[in-house]
Structure 1
Amino acid sequence: MKLNFFCLKSFPAKISLILLVLLIISCNATKKVKEGQHLLVKNNILENGERIKNRTIYNQLYQEPNVKLPLLGIPLKLHIYNIANPNPDTTFYNWLHKKPKREERLIKFLSKKQVEKLGQSYVEFNEFLEETGEAPVIVSKQKTERSSNRLKAWYWNHGWFNAETDFKIEKEKNKRAKVDYFIKPHQAYILDSISERIASPQADSVYQMYKKEALIKNGQQFETENFDAERQRIVALFRNNGFYHFEQEYITFEADTINTNHKANIDLVIADRNIQKEDTAYTVPYRKHFISDVNIFTDYTYSNQDKPITDSASYEGYTLYSFEDLEYKPKAIADAVFIKKGEVYSDRARSLTYRRMNELGIFKYPDIQYMPDPRDSTGTKLITNIFLTPKPKFGVDFNSDVSRSNIQDFGIGFGGSLLIRNVFGGAETFEIGGRGSIGSSKDASDSEDRFFNISEIGADVSLSFPKIAFPINTDRIIPKSMSPFTTFSVGVSSQENIGLDKQNVTGKLNYRWYPNNELTHKLDLLDLQYVRNLNTGNYFNVYRNSYNRLNDIAQTNSDQVDASYFEEDNNISDDNAPDLIVPEGTRGFINDFNNNTYNLTRQENQITRNIIERRDRLTQDNLILASNFNYIKNTRENIYDEEFTQFRFKIEAAGNTLSLVAPLLNLDKNNNDNYEVFGVEFSQYGKLETDFIKHWDFGQKNILAIRALGGIAIPYGNSNSIPFARSFFAGGANDNRGWQAYDLGPGSSGSLNEFNEANMKVTLNAEYRFNLFGSLNSAIFIDAGNIWNVLDNVEDERSKFSSFKDFKELAVSSGLGLRYDLSFFVIRFDVGFKTYNPAYNKQEWFKQYNFANAVYNVGINYPF
């Protein structure tokens, strides 16, 4: 395939893209398919003559066609492979010597070493193409036969013991072929009687106690995977009930299917333990093992393993040893151990101990060993030794980043933290962190002309406990097996020349615990935030859209407005009216408006009221005292699991406690008849958020991911609006990608403000991800969503959600993206096109579907 890119330059961008796609399609996919060979282009599996689409069954085949791009159906990786020269070294050598003196001229121009490197680079490039691409899948009769047999085995494992399979290879003249697989399952076998033969009386007793939990039951269709799962269940059952030596190899299932009319009679057989000593082998019944002692070595290292113990302590059946002075409170360490003296041996107790010790963050991964108790003559007691290796007492971390946002044109961030482990001897973690940034912004309020004209600095302190710190004992509700933690944190920050300039103080009392491997619960019992605006007079310099609308109204009605509110400029003509002065002129105009001084049109009155409402809300100081609870369920087992479900639900309430005590404390009320604490009106609201994510893995790195997100925050009592810090916004790299962050909504208002936010949000996302080649992946996505105002003090009907009919204002964007997988994180680039913009009066589709209105998003990792 040869591409003339010079010719492409003469076409518009869209035509060039279409032409490039057509050229790729026209490439010869069978370029490297030899004579007598055939490229596999399609597999069909027909069950009783009907084509099936079950992806799991197709995964049984040893040969699949080359991977194709979704929608386009182009085997891109095959074409990349075909571009590679199979003999690059020979080709380069022939080219080098094709013309007389070519090599000599190149050596004079470059050098002999550089010419050799040029040839090596050509070879390496072609090797890269072969490794990145995908070799043509050549139809193999042997692999087809193996696939047919594997299909038969798959059906057998699912109960069709008499399944018949066959295949047919259809070869075409253009070196292409397809394979049809034919399956006749016949009648499936059903489980009938299920009996047990368990040699050990103790093991049989435990099995009978939990027999109802068996995963194989009569009436089920025979499924091999159910027997595997039952085998794993029995192993876990026995090893969690004292049978230390029990292994899966001692479990067998015998099935009788002779003359049973397609029914299977199952016999579960569990043999005694086999012991091999020198030349003698014998069996003994399984017996329960008990823990006789639990010893914990708190400062074990390889270098001190032969040193004598110098300190020890005992706590509720645990003995703690130390080679130096014991630095840990015995209770704190013992609470992380689930292996108990006098109880039966349990795999689960050992796993919980591993996990909890690892979660503490003060030890390296522990080593847990069991040994027979030499004092025991029955051979059923075990001594548990837990070896803990402490991490360093102090940990230091530094970080930095470069960023760009709506606020700053260029910014440099830096930070660091000091971590102190076991600060009070109770396995606590104390962390002190600092952060800061400097940046450049053309909109900064600083009058001095310097590049770095904005800054932010902050500090955080947190203390974490491995328990629920609460006046009432919560062990019955949240046992230590749920890995509870309590965290106290305090933070302060200050901004200079960023918007209105803010000082921010936060405080939080957080609990978190894990009821099981899929569930996470988080409770912020106290969530305090105080925001103080330092430069409110700069409001209309920051929010220029609001200023421009207010200024237009003032200029239109200049005959009613005090002339001193406008700038004095003798050069301003009648056609170019003077502007309102910030802040004196804007403040005076608003005061006069509130005093009903002006005779404005109905629309001008509404716009002015909206501007004043937003200014008052964004310039007022905020005091938020809230509590919230997060319920998170995630079925993802590890980072490589690409098929999972995640659900998050959050409920938050703010201001209720202050509202109850305000009358009792005789707190002052402001002009809005709302209570104030230290001169600040506290916020009162209720807030709900939900987030649902689902991934489907179709194999070969093809994944469909969807997300549905919704939230609403309702002010009441002491508030008639939601603080900016707790409101919702739309748009951005992880939201509706056809709009930049804060640029979408509310409703159909058309993004009138620089930072558009509201108190209700709905977002829907769908994304199909697929591999291009190597570590480069791609995705096609569609996003829908918007924000609205509901039950607050916003009066603009275009911004409000009044009924379900307003869901027609859901903005839709679509696009595509590239993702480069670096294993530890993914670099993402997405291009989003506005597909449906509710801000248009006619609300037409695809009106802004072009590169001029596209939004380019760069992010780290996947959006959901």
Structure 2
Amino acid sequence: MNYGITKLPLILLITFLFFSCDVTRKLSDNEFLITDQTITSSDTLVTDNEIHSQLSQKTNTRLFGFPLKLQIYNLAQTKPEKRFINWVGKRKQRKDRLVSILSKRQVIQLKKFWVNVNNSIKNTGEPPALFDEEKTELSLEKLESWYWNHGWFNADADYSIQNDSLAKTVKIDYKINPGVLYIIDSISENIESPAADSLYQLIKKKNKIRVGKPYNTEEFNSDRDFISTYFRNHGLYHFEKEFISFYADTLGNDQKINLELIITNRSEAAGDTITSVPFKVHKISEINIFPDYDGTSRNVKDSVRYKNTNIYTFGNLKLNPKVLSNFIFIEKDSLYRDIDRARTNNRISETRIFKYPNILYQEDPRDSTGTNLVANIFLTPKERYSANISVDVSQSNIQQFGIGFNTSVLARNVFRGAETLELSGRGNFGSSRDLANTKDQFLDILEYGADLRLNFPRIISPFSTQKIIKNTMSPFTSASVGFSTQQNIGLDRRNLNAIFGYRWKPKPRTSYQLDLMNIQFVNNLNAANFFNVFRNSYSELNQISKNNINEVNPEFLFENNEGELDLIIPTGTNGFIRAINNQSINLSVEEQQTANSLIERRERLTENNLIVASNFTYDFSSRRDIYDQDFSQFRSKIEWAGNLLSLFAKPLNLEQTPEGKYRLFDVQYSQYVKTELNYIKHWDLGNKQVLAARAYGGIAIPYGNAKSIPFSRSFFAGGPNDNRGWRPYDLGPGSTDAVNDFNEANFKLSFNAEYRFNLFGSLNSALFIDAGNIWNVFDNIEDPKATFDGLQDLSELSVASGFGLRYDIEFFVIRMDLGFKTYNPGNEGSKWFKNYNFSNAVLNFGINYPF
């Protein structure tokens, strides 16, 4: 054991405890550190975060009770420049010595450097939360204001302090006497514009403000937003929520409120006179599109009218008018609606053909009533071709070191229908940690591939889908083909794939994806290398041969460096397996079971796969934007494969194996159904603290033409986005304790939770606990340790715990997690892990958060 590493956390803990005893050491005599603030309302302790957020002074952030940021701040000197000058001048010869070694200019630069270091420490830390009487009085005002805005008009607040002059600390207790809660007794209306009044009568029952409810300013603002949105989506182009106000009469009504809703007309200046103008219901009289606008004023070269839309171009029209009109949701002779403008903006932006559109409305000069609007839509095309390239460094359980290259070329508006054609290529050069490499070379892995993807901003189908998938749902059709190949390591797999599918969004936060055809062909070019790659499987088979060495053909064996006889790869292993299958070797029952499992695994992992599948994915997220840290997300997917081929197997007279399985292109195609469920929930705890949880379940069931799931469609456990106490493919299945080099199965459960918090600046941290495992179910695996036979097998859920660091660089997050095997059901000894030191931890690197 590395005792130095083991003692490191203890040393850090002692250091932190030492400093924590002196957090006020830099405070002057009249300065006091706020260590605690409480709020009581009618002698009841208030814990509502919203109420506590009204306080103008905040206590220093604490990490498990320790003011880490404050301690970092205290590490900095208060007057670094003055202290540096005093340090230089403290000894007569020090300044001369520094000047002779460096130079006078470099000494000045050293002073600046020292000042910058101290400023950086201060910025990283957090200044002490000092008691300020003025801010405390301001907190009282804000507390009274909060209670007033929630119906307690007579709320009265006061505070008391407990100070410790020796420790230089103070505790503040805010006391609130809320008084009587005011209730809305009646609601009247004063709406000047007849058009606004007519619309309001249609929605008044949907307001949150109602008779009998307490007064609440937040609900007033919510109703103002609701009314304004409704008006602007029903023709009132000039309407803004500032025209809505409420007047509350509380005089002589015994804590009852007579409420008046006021909606005024808009004001319009005519010379020196300001007049009151009633709102009108506006209609769209004309739609003009400028698809090649570049921001400069030029003469229109050509114009096209398609349906009720005018298209004006300054050059040649490069987009099909029919396609262009499908992106516009503003309709001639329809009411003005904000939602039509928003949908048009979003749809045009999603195509990646244009920059963000500019939509301007103006009153139609031909209309004497002033109710007609002309919609002018200015579109600026992006460059027709664009390219990018990226480089990344990776590490996995296959390669010790890898350099990856990714490049892509994007062509826009390929067929004048706003299509995008993307050609992407990728390559990877790596250094293997595998024993299969017999050549003395560092970069012994070569992987490369390419994909061609064509996107259509509409549904491509022989049948009309407009009634089901409307243009407002942002429909896309995509078709792609690709290949990838891996050489110089493993089984040298070659993958060919083709996908044709649709995606659309029926609601702003809900999306669907349907792959009508998802075809994958996996060709193992070097199947004879299996036992070089999967060393655990070789060790087990080799041990069986040693146990029965007298019955093994000597031609299958060679003498290793220790003078023992081992199976030759691949001739010896293949010959020994043939002998087992022919039952020419007398194995024990246990050896026969192990051998059968090894043979079945080799056949499954070396066989070529043909997958012809369809899948459907549903995705919902309540997240409003990237800054929203309180949301939930649910994703489900179902995939079915092989059914179409099975339907036509007999009519096409496909080749059959002796077991009655059908083959196409000399490959037994896969048939299965697979489903996945994934639920994520985030709770925003405030002060840059988030509690995140995830629950995941997946199962793939083979049937018909297959008795197992293809390796590429199986589940694995472990790794930076799963159970972080294990590396990828190192966990499970069941309680087998990872007997194979790459452990996979067809049933998976995973549960994760982590508490995320800020350390300082852009550096965040997290404490996490992961639970999960994989099992075999309804397939050809019979090992009871690897199969899921009932709820009792939930005791085989492996548990990992640990902590991590996350550095936020705005565009993405660099993540490092340190996980420990807290509970390992495959460990024959103690299943619960007790020896917590870094030498037993698994270090995982990742980009962005795991969930």
TM-score (norm. length: structure 2)? 0.97
* Pick aligned residue for 2:243 from 246, 250, 261: 250
How many Å separate the matches in 1 of 2:5 and 2:837? 20
Note the 1:278-677 alignment, pairs <5 A.
278-303=271-296, 305=297, 307-443=298-434, 448-567=439-558, 573=563, 577-677=564-664
Question: Residue 235 of structure 1: SS of its match in structure 2?
Answer: helix
How many Å separate the matches in 2 of 1:90 and 1:572? 72
C-alpha displacement at 1:394, in angstroms?
0.6
Gap runs ≥5 in structure 2? none
Match of 1:43 in 2: 37
How many Å separate the matches in 2 of 1:91 and 1:9? 36
Is 1:134 equivalent to 2:121 in the alignment?
A: no
| Per-residue deviation, residues 85-113 of structure 1 (Å, max 9, x unmatched) | 11111111111122221122222222333
For 1:466, the aligned partner's letter is: P
Gap runs ≥5 in structure 1? 1-7
How many Å separate the matches in 2 of 1:351 and 1:444? 58
Is 1:706 equivalent to 2:697 in the alignment?
A: no
Q: Runs of at least 4 residues of structure 1 off by over 6 A?
A: 8-11
For 1:320, the aligned partner's letter is: I
* Pick aligned residue for 2:20 from 11, 25, 29: 25
For 2:183, the aligned partner's letter is: I
Match of 1:16 in 2: 11
Match of 1:5 in 2: none
Question: Residue 785 of structure 2: SS of its match in structure 1?
Answer: helix
* Pick aligned residue for 2:735 from 742, 748, 757: 748
| Per-residue deviation, residues 98-144 of structure 1 (Å, max 9, x unmatched) | 22211222222223332222222111111111111111111122211
Structure 1 residues 845 and 318: CA distance shift in structure 2, 3 A: same
For 2:785, the aligned partner's letter is: R
How many Å separate the matches in 1 of 2:544 and 2:4? 49
| Per-residue deviation, residues 453-503 of structure 1 (Å, max 9, x unmatched) | 221121110110111111111111111111111110110111112310111
* Pick aligned residue for 1:80 from 72, 75, 88: 72
C-alpha displacement at 1:510, in angstroms?
2.1
How many Å separate the matches in 1 of 2:473 and 2:341? 15
Note the 1:198-237 alignment, pairs <5 A.
198-237=191-230
For 1:263, the aligned partner's letter is: K
Question: Residue 179 of structure 2: SS of its match in structure 1?
Answer: coil
How many Å separate the matches in 1 of 2:54 and 2:794? 45
The answer to whether the 8 A contact 2:398-2:433 is kept is no
The answer to whether the 8 A contact 1:78-1:133 is kept is yes
Name which of structure 1's ranges 324-333 and 99-108 shifts more when overlaid on structure 2: 99-108
C-alpha displacement at 1:430, in angstroms?
0.7
How many Å separate the matches in 2 of 1:720 and 1:336? 48
Identity of aligned residues (%): 50
Question: Residue 813 of structure 1: SS of its match in structure 2?
Answer: strand
C-alpha displacement at 1:598, in angstroms?
2.2
Question: Residue 598 of structure 1: SS of its match in structure 2?
Answer: coil
Match of 1:94 in 2: 86
Is 1:780 equivalent to 2:767 in the alignment?
A: yes
C-alpha displacement at 1:777, in angstroms?
1.2
Match of 2:673 in 1: 686
The answer to whether the 8 A contact 2:823-2:831 is kept is yes
How many Å separate the matches in 2 of 1:789 and 1:749? 11
The answer to whether the 8 A contact 2:654-2:664 is kept is yes
C-alpha displacement at 1:219, in angstroms?
3.1
Structure 1 residues 288 and 714: CA distance shift in structure 2, 3 A: same
Taking only aligned residues, the RMSD between alpha carbons, in angstroms, comes to 1.7
C-alpha displacement at 1:150, in angstroms?
1.1
Match of 1:810 in 2: 797
C-alpha displacement at 1:572, in angstroms?
5.9
Is 1:117 equivalent to 2:104 in the alignment?
A: no
The answer to whether the 8 A contact 1:292-1:383 is kept is yes
Structure 1 residues 144 and 840: CA distance shift in structure 2, 3 A: same
How many Å separate the matches in 2 of 1:712 and 1:843? 30
For 2:10, the aligned partner's letter is: I
Question: Residue 308 of structure 1: SS of its match in structure 2?
Answer: coil
For 1:64, the aligned partner's letter is: K
Structure 1 residues 709 and 572: CA distance shift in structure 2, 3 A: closer
How many Å separate the matches in 1 of 2:585 and 2:702? 31
Question: Residue 420 of structure 1: SS of its match in structure 2?
Answer: strand
Match of 2:150 in 1: 158
C-alpha displacement at 1:327, in angstroms?
0.7
C-alpha displacement at 1:404, in angstroms?
2.0
| Per-residue deviation, residues 793-851 of structure 1 (Å, max 9, x unmatched) | 11111111111111111111111111111111111111111111111235532245332
Match of 1:4 in 2: none
For 1:22, the aligned partner's letter is: L
Question: Residue 337 of structure 1: SS of its match in structure 2?
Answer: coil
TM-score (norm. length: structure 1)? 0.96
For 1:597, the aligned partner's letter is: S
C-alpha displacement at 1:568, in angstroms?
5.2
Question: Residue 384 of structure 1: SS of its match in structure 2?
Answer: strand
The answer to whether the 8 A contact 2:700-2:714 is kept is yes
Is 1:732 equivalent to 2:732 in the alignment?
A: no
C-alpha displacement at 1:175, in angstroms?
0.8
Question: Residue 862 of structure 1: SS of its match in structure 2?
Answer: coil
C-alpha displacement at 1:185, in angstroms?
2.4
How many Å separate the matches in 1 of 2:680 and 2:514? 22
Question: Residue 97 of structure 1: SS of its match in structure 2?
Answer: helix
| Per-residue deviation, residues 361-387 of structure 1 (Å, max 9, x unmatched) | 011111111111111111111111111
For 1:87, the aligned partner's letter is: K
How many Å separate the matches in 1 of 2:672 and 2:413? 39
